[in-house]
Structure formats: C-alpha cells, structure tokens
Amino acid sequence: MNNESFRDWGHKMIDWIADYFDKVENYPVKSRVEPGDIKKSLSDYPPEQGEEMEKIWQDFQDIILPGVTHWQHPGWFAYFPANNSPASVLGELLSAGLGVQGMVWETSPAAEELEEVVLDWLRQMLGLPQGLHGVIQDTASTATLVSLLTAREVATDFKSNEEGINEKLKVYASQETHSSIEKGMKIAGYGRKNLHQIPTDDNYALKPEALEKALKDDLNEGKQPACVVATIGTTSSTAIDPLPEIGEICRRYGVWLHVDAAFAGTAAILEEKQDLLEGAEYLDSFVFNPHKWMFTNFDCSAYFVKEPELLIKTLAINPEYLKTARDDQVNNYRDWGIQLGRRFRALKLWFVIRDYGVEGLQKLIKKHIELAEDFADWIQRQKDFELLAPLTTSLVCFRWNNNSHSEEELNKINREILEKINESEKIYLTHTSLRGKYTLRLVVGQRTTSAEEVKLAQNIIEQAKNEVLDSVQGD
C-alpha cells in the first residue's frame, strides 16, 4: 500500500467507523457465530503475494465482522464495559501512525512526559493523595502483578530477585477478589496456596477483623504477610472493601497495601462518590482502568505508586545498550512495568480527557449511575425479582424469585432467563454467583447507553421471564 492508497483507505475506514458509531445498535450485540465458524472461512496459509485492499476489506466485512461481539453497542450490559469514544480512536490512530516505542525517555520524550502529566491529571480527578506517581500498564492484571512483585521484594528486602522466592510469603484478599490476584500469585512465585482469601460481610466486602485474625494466625505459624489486596468494586457485585480499616491494619502490621479499583475507580471523579477512596492515604499502590469506564479504548490501565523507587528497584534492568545521558533526569518507564517496549497510550487518554473535559466525563458517569439506580428501583418494584447485592456504582445484581422454589431450581430458572434475554440480540447481560445464588448482572457503562436501552432491557427481561416460566409450568 502506498501513501496515496493509505490516504484513500484511511478516509474510507474513518467513514466506516463513524457510521459504525451511528448504527452499532443494528448489529446483534453478541456475535451469533459458532466455535470454528470464523476459522473455517479463513485461509490456512498466509498469502504468498500481497493482496488488494479491496479484497481484504471485503473479507473483513464478510468474515470478521460477523464474529465480532459489539462492546460499543448501547445494549451492552455484560461483564464490565470496555468502552471507547471518537477522541480515543483518533488518539489511538495517531499513536499507531507515529509508531512510537517509548521504552526510555529518549525514544520519545513526549510519550514519557505526556504519560506523567496525564496520569497526574487522573490522580487529581479521582482525588487520590498528592505524591502518588502514575504509569500506564496494559491491564489491571499486569498492574496487580507488578504490585505483587514489588510487595514480594519489599517483604524480602529485595532478596527474592537475586536468590529466588522465600516460600513463607502470604498475600491476603477477600473471597470476592478478582482472578487476576490468583494469576499474579502463580506468576510472581508466591504459589496459589499462599493467597489467603478472607471472608466477606453481607455486602460482600472484606471483613477487617477476619483479615487481622488471618495475619495474626499466619505470623504465629512463622509465615510472612507480604501484601493485602483491597478491592474497590469487586467483579461480581462491585462490593467496596473498607479501605480505612484495612489500611490501618496494614500500617500496624507493616504490610504492603494494593488497591484494585479496576472498574469502580472511575466513579471517584464524582464528588458524591469520593468516599469510595476514603482511606487512600494508606495505599502503596492503586490501579483503575480508563479502558473500562473512561471512554478510552482498550488497553489503558492507570497504575499509581507511593514510592516509585521500590517499583523501579524491583524491575530495573540496565544493560549498556539502553543507557542514555539523561537517565538520572527523567523517568524511563521501561523500569515501571514488565515489558521493555511501550506503546504511546497516553496520547488517547490525553485526547479523551481534553475532548470531554472533567465535567463532560462526570456527566456521563453520573448518568450511568442514575440509569443503574432506575433499573434497580424497577427490580425492587417487581414482586418476583430481587436485588442480590447493594448498588454501589452502576452494576445491578438481581434474580427472579417468587419464594416458592428451591435454590437449585432458582439457579436453573435464572440461568434459562439469562439465556432467553441474550437470545433477543438487542441487549447482553452476563452472570455471576453470589453465595451460591445464580445472579444476573446488569452493568451500565457503555458510552451511548440511555434510558431507552434500560427500558428495553426491562421489557426483554420481563418477556424472557414469562417465556421461561411458561415452559417450566408446561413441563
């Protein structure tokens, strides 16, 4: 492809994306394909000769697009969102066009300095304490792994890096913690069995007294507590672990505190949601994902640390070929994360924050929370639906229950209701399990979701319920 052809196709594709934004609701939100459908339409071999863009583009439309699940669909209520926005797409495009690899300051001073500045904007927007230093990681999973590695080194006086892991190390998180903690335990060499999962209260939040007991018991057994992971917005129900109490315990026992606010952290940009981060003065590291609920397309995860020296000491490498004359004056982000090479992700974040402004972002987040509140009110008004967890931001956990079925039957019926809901192809919800109860999750966070889609969701849920109950009674 020469430049002229790139220009033509670029115009065409931007037009296509703009049309996609306009009419994404015309696609089935969840892809209809069966396993293997896409693969069997693709060539088993790479092409020997370059192909015409016209043909590649046609195949994109005919083969790839049917296999796409439309995360930007306004009927997206599944998992957590991974939303984008026009400004973020343009920022991403520029970043791809520049093709910058920002491993050290010199390889693109703007990439490093913009990242520093934009992350500090985020820190201010969320009301995180002054003195935290930010860096972009690809995902919250990576950020948490980086935190576990730093906690490991801090706990072992930086010996594990040199000599291998001290097997007595323990990590603590609630029973509702995200699976990335478990994965991080495996990768960082702690071993999965050394993750101590602490019981939760009726709101699915970690019980501080149980945490303290676990710390004491482990110390008595000669174990070494290395890290506590508190979650602000658990994946199943957006439960909020009590940060002030947990932080106080961590301080008393000298344990590293990592806070995982992957989804719900964004809500802290609202003044009325500032209490989510109460106790932030205790944290050693913190992560939240602009790629979930801040209109910045995947991937972009904001990671903050109190003492960057500890992070750098954990991850620094300094081969001759990477040394530069400016190393003592600048941040070289290669030492703030796992990978050496780094994309210019700050650009899209900068575009998004400038395009919306803080007020624009607040307005959208507030709207999502209000829509979730409306939906939760509707659930509560139904005589045969119930809420299964408190609504803390914009995720509603609920199920059908007319109080005349066993838990096992309820799980089956609710599973069938969810399947029926998703057969509508107009909305997409997913599920979780709360204390063994099959739970339907409806999360509002897609950029274009409005009251209209929430109303539509209510109608579809009602209809799905009726159809499932008719078939149950017919059995």
Which chain residues interact with ligand PLP by CB under 6 A? 80, 139-141, 178, 180, 231, 233-235, 260, 262-263, 289, 301
295 vs 385, beta carbon nearer ligand PLP: 295
Taking every pair of Cα atoms in the chain, the longest distance, rounded to a whole number of angstroms, is: 78
Q: Nearer Cβ to ligand PLP, position 262 or 461?
A: 262
- Kindly list the distances between the CA atom of residue 60 and the CA atoms of 12, 63, 324, in Å, as whole numbers in the listed order: 14, 6, 43
Contact between 243 and 282 under an 8 Å Cβ cutoff? The reply is yes
DSSP strand pairing (256-260 vs 224-231): parallel
Spatial CA neighbour of 173 closest among 147, 136, 135, 139? 147
CB of 216 to ligand PLP, least distance (A): 27
CA dist., res. 312 & res. 331, Å (int): 10
Beta-bridge partner residues of 441? 397, 430
Cβ closest to ligand PLP, residue 368 vs residue 420:
368
Nearest distance, CB of residue 400 and ligand PLP, angstroms: 25
Min separation Cβ 80 and ligand PLP, Å: 5
Min separation Cβ 470 and ligand PLP, Å:
35
User: Least Å distance between CB 13 and ligand PLP?
Assistant: 27
- Residues with Cβ < 8 Å from 151, sequence gap 6 or more? 171, 226, 227, 256, 258, 284
User: Nearest approach, Cβ of 157 to ligand PLP (angstroms)?
Assistant: 29
Burial of 129 (0-12, 13-18, 19+ CB in 10 A): middle
Provide the CA 137 distance to its chain's centre, in angstroms: 12
Residue number with CB closer to ligand PLP (123 or 292) = 292
Question: Quick one: which of 368, 421, 437, 67 has its CA closest to 429?
Answer: 421
Contact 75, 25 (CB under 8 A): yes
User: Does the CA dihedral 306-311-313-318 come out positive or negative?
Assistant: negative
Nearer to ligand PLP, 105 or 256 (CB): 256
Q: Which is nearer to ligand PLP, 289 or 297 (CB)?
A: 289
Nearer to ligand PLP, 80 or 172 (CB): 80
The CB-of-10 to ligand PLP minimum distance in angstroms stands at 29
Cα–chain-centroid distance for residue 249? Answer: 27
The least CB distance from residue 137 to ligand PLP, in Å, is 8
Distance of CA 275 to the CA centre of its chain: 20
The DSSP secondary-structure symbol of 84 reads -
Report the distance separating Cα 465 and Cα 455, nearest Å: 15
Residue 144 CB, shortest distance to ligand PLP, in Å, is 7
Nearer to ligand PLP, 115 or 138 (CB): 138
Q: Which is nearer to ligand PLP, 184 or 225 (CB)?
A: 184
Asked if 441 and 394 count as a contact pair (C-beta separation under 8 A), the reply is no
